[in-house]
Amino acid sequence: MPVHCSVKKKKSSPKRKELTEEQVIALFAKRLKELRKKAGHTGQLGFAYDKSLNPRRYQSWEAGADIKLSNINRLCNALGVSIQEFFGDGFE
């Protein structure tokens, strides 16, 4: 007796839009500013001092400077969000 099996086809996911490094950094800076304000901090310097971050470096990140992954983790902790939450909005 033949054995039949059914294979579910994967739903084709929408084609992922490729972003340039500059676009990713700009999205990161925008999201960082958005989450800082959402956390109730209106100013960059006050937030940086309050969270023991280097103020000049923090300002550069919001202005679009490149950032190391270890610093992204520190920022997420300071903002009270997970890395998944940080990259969820605007990075899909």
Domain assignment of residue 81, yes or no? yes
Domain assignment of residue 37, yes or no? no
- Which pLDDT does position 9 carry in this prediction? 57
What pTM does this model have?
0.76
Q: What average pLDDT does the chain have? A: 85
CA angle in degrees (0–180, nearest 5) for 52-60-23: 125
Domain assignment of residue 50, yes or no? yes
- Which pLDDT does position 75 carry in this prediction? 94
pLDDT tens digit string along 16-53? Answer: 678 888 998 999 999 999 999 999 999 999 999 999 99
- Provide mean pLDDT across the span 3-17: 59
Could you list the residue range(s) of the whole structural domain that residue 70 is in?
A: 43-92
Domain assignment of residue 26, yes or no? no
User: Nearest-CA neighbor of 44 among 82, 79, 77?
Assistant: 79
Give the number of domains in the chain.
Answer: 1
Domain assignment of residue 32, yes or no? no
Domain assignment of residue 87, yes or no? yes
